Amino acid sequence: MKSLLPLIFLVLTACSEQGNQVQNTSSENDQPTEKLSPLGIDAITTDSLTGHIKVLASDEFEGRAPGTVGEEKTINYLAENFKKAGLQPGNGDSYFQKVPLTSVEAVNQPALTIQSSEGEAIVLNYPSDQVIWTRHQTEQVTLNDSQLVFVGYGINAPERNWNDYDGVDVKGKTVVMLVNDPGYATQNPELFNGNAMTYYGRWDYKFDEAARQGAAGAIIIHDTLPAAYPWSTVSSSWTGPKFDIIREDKGESLSIMESWITKDNAKLLFSKSGLDLDAMYEAAKSADFKAVEMNLKASATIQNKVANVESNNVIAILPGSKYPDEVFLYMAHWDHLGKDPSKEGDNIFNGALDNASGTAGLLTMAEAFASLPEKPERSIVFMAVTAEEQGLLGSAHYAANPVYPLANTVAGLNMDVLKNFGRTNDLVVIGLGMSQLDGYLEAKAKSQNRYLKPDAEAQKGYYYRSDHFELAKLGVPMIYPKGGYDHVEKGFEYGMAKAKEYTDNHYHGPSDEYNESWDMTGSVQDLQLYFMVGQDIANSQDWPEWNEGAEFKAARDAQRAGK
Ligand SMILES: [Zn+2]
């Protein structure tokens, strides 16, 4: 670690460097000196940041959906600005890495019909009562009279002696599951990770596990608190075209139908089956839980519009001056939800905070690094990935097809949703305690008179919900800092209230738009901190590692050992 000096001194250092240059020039030829643009960390300003946000989050960019005009405008804007800043193309002679995707869109507002043993048909409507879809990449799929089985949290975790599928065969059946995990439900720190959601609590893990178990259908019961978002987020995020990587088996090995249903409708189904949902919640908390057959059958026909789409990751590099093969990676997803033509009024999901802010941060930092008179010894790669909103697909594609070998990727930092309410004394780090990267962040936070803080909402499983996770799960040490709440003047409650106001009213909605009232000084301070961390690691021969017990350490050790 290079320096632990307070921030103010650092800035002076930068300026003085700058000053020196300026002075030298003037004394030599007495020409009036033109105003030089700030260099390095000083190039990270609210003007540069908001300038890029305004463009990326403008209606003209149409909510930046993959495979649309919005994508074209976005990736060209990114490439042009990387080039203008003086960064090299990051994928051979191109700034783009092609990401072949397929989009499957349910177009028949598919109903989900539940038949009781008495022959009563309960029809759940789309998308008010349920949202169903398929990852089968075909025109039509049909689920017919598939027996419902309640499997608790739908978790099979041998290393935790937990298997909700123990003793039940769900092949061809439809499993009904709870969201999150038993650790959250019991708040027992000994169970899973207690309040902090594990990957097992995530919807993507539950659907994949249901498929591995051979289930023809899979239903997750929505519940706002354990899910950490309201039904409106489910109905907006899981309707419309759903992208996926192009699967060799066209998704045949996955469940025919996947779904969320509202808690009220789940209560109705359990009561129709002579069961009590609250009692089932209780039962599911125990490792002795046994799956419960429900005397109900599910049927649905989903008609799809299937289209192959080619999207792009945008990659730029600042080659290292001494160790160019060793790479520090900054990343942020450029994509968002696009436009919803079926929606009245404002139907553009501008995604100003999510994630035009992080993408603008990536550009602003790239410009700052490129302006450094002395380039770092290791290379710095800046990557804006696609299709994060569709399930981290751009980063998953990069991780499976890395341009820079993952074993030579020293570490990385992901930015997703910067803060817009001013400077904070704290910096929240999602997944704090997982790796030695914390030490670098802590040192730089101290230089800004700030302190690190773990995620106050660990139950939301944020570490598994953004792009760093696709590289982390393959072993690369990745850090995911997320702003902070302890506002320098107005305190913690103010920051929490501002963040909650965004999550409740704007997250994944058309109103996530840039506003002149935003105060981006806090995000500038965060970006300057991230800049210093990357600069430090890129000017060292350190290889930061995962801490003992971290779920990705084994993968990294094997990776570095060339296995
Ligand atoms: Zn995002």
Span from the CA of 543 to the centroid of ligand 1 (angstroms): 28
Span from the CA of 388 to the centroid of ligand 1 (angstroms): 7
Give residue-wise pLDDT tens across range 62-82.
999 999 999 999 999 999 999
Span from the CA of 414 to the centroid of ligand 1 (angstroms): 11
- Tell me how far CA of residue 167 lies from CA of 151, 174, 289, in angstroms: 11, 16, 11
Span from the CA of 469 to the centroid of ligand 1 (angstroms): 13
Q: Note the Cα 389 to chain centre separation in Å.
A: 7
State which residues of the chain have pLDDT below 70.
1-36
pLDDT at 3: 42
Span from the CA of 379 to the centroid of ligand 1 (angstroms): 26
For residue 47 the two structure tokens come to 């003007």
Contact between 214 and 170 (Cβ < 8 Å): yes
Between β-strands 121-124 and 292-318, what pairing exists: parallel, antiparallel or unpaired?
unpaired
Span from the CA of 482 to the centroid of ligand 1 (angstroms): 12
Reduce the DSSP state of residue 368 to 3 states and report it.
helix
Span from the CA of 274 to the centroid of ligand 1 (angstroms): 41
Span from the CA of 154 to the centroid of ligand 1 (angstroms): 26
pLDDT at 34: 54
Residue 454 and residue 481: Cα distance in Å, rounded? 10
Span from the CA of 418 to the centroid of ligand 1 (angstroms): 10
Residue 485 and residue 449: Cα distance in Å, rounded? 15
Span from the CA of 255 to the centroid of ligand 1 (angstroms): 27
Provide the residue type at 177 as one letter: M
Environment of ion ligand 1 (residues, CB < 5 A): 354-355, 416
DSSP 356: I
pLDDT at 39: 83
Span from the CA of 319 to the centroid of ligand 1 (angstroms): 28
What is the CA angle 184-187-189, rounded to 5? Answer: 100
pLDDT at 196: 84
Span from the CA of 406 to the centroid of ligand 1 (angstroms): 23
Domain architecture of the chain: domains with CATH: 21-86+319-561 (3.40.630.10), 104-306 (3.50.30.30)
Span from the CA of 238 to the centroid of ligand 1 (angstroms): 15
Span from the CA of 436 to the centroid of ligand 1 (angstroms): 25
Between β-strands 121-124 and 112-116, what pairing exists: parallel, antiparallel or unpaired?
antiparallel
Contact between 64 and 383 (Cβ < 8 Å): no
Contact between 74 and 387 (Cβ < 8 Å): no
Span from the CA of 511 to the centroid of ligand 1 (angstroms): 15
Span from the CA of 140 to the centroid of ligand 1 (angstroms): 30
Span from the CA of 365 to the centroid of ligand 1 (angstroms): 18
Span from the CA of 513 to the centroid of ligand 1 (angstroms): 14
Span from the CA of 216 to the centroid of ligand 1 (angstroms): 30
Contact between 229 and 238 (Cβ < 8 Å): no
pLDDT at 474: 95
Span from the CA of 288 to the centroid of ligand 1 (angstroms): 37
